[in-house]
């Protein structure tokens, strides 16, 4: 029987995704530990026990939310790095793409930013445990490349700059303004940030 699926994951992938979106929202709003399975179920219009027809556990929900988000981020960063652009353009593309990915997965990003470190250390988050900080690595490599070839200041403290960029990018995940439009901002935001940052990174004329 080729249709044999995992025991508990027996629901339409459609429904799964819906439920994960709800769960992500609740996790982001209250924190993973403060979120009860019943809280998620309430929000989804069902009873707590019913969630277990779709997921193995509360942990597995969060693990899936986060690893899906991170897989997407990895793909995004990988595509940018593989595009063969120069350091400056690569940096721009990384920032822009990150903003977009975070903006499109606000809840997951918020969970990851605030609780990723704690959760990764726990058993029950296997997919989260081994994850490398992709974005940070991409930034680091790009900055070093640019500092070496003169795209950026030669005396740039790349480790510091990397952290600054990283924190700036992830910081946006916390701007919980749900009122803000979902999509179009990311572009402007990224450009604004880049203006601020690049003018500090680029060597003077």
Partner DNA sequence: CATGAATGAGTCTTCATTCAT
Partner DNA sequence: TATGAATGAAGACTCATTCAT
Residue closest to 204 by CA, chosen among 155, 165, 153, 142: 153
Q: If binding is defined by CB under 7 A, does position 176 make contact with DNA?
A: no
Which two structure tokens, joined as six digits, stand for 86? Answer: 């120069």
What's phi and psi for 59, nearest 5 deg? Answer: -60, -45
Query: What span, in angstroms and rounded, lies between the C-alpha atoms of 58 and 60?
Result: 5
59 binds, among a second copy, DNA, none (CB under 5 to 8 A by kind): DNA
Residue 181, helix vs strand vs coil: coil
CB 144 within 8 A of CB 159: no
Q: If binding is defined by CB under 8 A, does position 154 make contact with a second copy?
A: no
For residues 78 and 121, which CB has a smaller minimum distance to a second copy in the complex? 121
Residue-level length of the chain? 205
For residues 51 and 201, which CB has a smaller minimum distance to a second copy in the complex? 201
Of positions 133, 183, 187, 200, contacts a second copy by CB under 8 A: 200
Give me the 26-65 binding string for DNA, x by CB under 7 A, dash otherwise: ---------xxxx-------xxxxx-xxx-xxxx------
Q: Which residues bind a second copy (CB under 8 A)?
A: 30-34, 114-115, 117-118, 157, 160-161, 163-164, 166-168, 170-172, 174-176, 189, 192-193, 195-201, 204-205
């Amino acid at each position: 029987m080729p249709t044999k699926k995992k025991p508990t994951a027996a629901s339409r992938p459609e429904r799964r995704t819906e439920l994960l979106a709800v769960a992500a929202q609740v996790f982001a709003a209250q924190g993973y530990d403060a979120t009860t399975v019943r809280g998620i179920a309430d929000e989804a219009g069902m009873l707590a026990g019913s969630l277990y027809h779709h997921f193995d556990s509360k942990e597995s929900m969060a693990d899936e939310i986060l690893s899906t988000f991170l897989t997407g981020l990895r793909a995004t960063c990988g595509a940018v790095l593989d595009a063969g652009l120069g350091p400056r353009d690569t940096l721009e593309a990384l920032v822009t793409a990150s903003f977009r990915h975070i903006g499109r997965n606000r809840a997951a990003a918020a969970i990851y930013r605030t609780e990723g470190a704690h959760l990764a250390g726990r058993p029950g988050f296997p997919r989260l445990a081994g994850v490398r900080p992709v974005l940070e690595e991409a930034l680091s490599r790009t900055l070093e490349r640019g500092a070496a070839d003169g795209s950026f200041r030669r005396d740039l403290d790349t480790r510091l700059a990397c952290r600054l960029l990283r924190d700036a990018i992830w910081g946006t995940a916390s701007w919980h303004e749900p009122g803000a439009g979902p999509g179009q901002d990311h572009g402007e935001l990224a450009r604004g940030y880049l203006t601020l940052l690049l003018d500090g990174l680029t060597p003077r004329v």
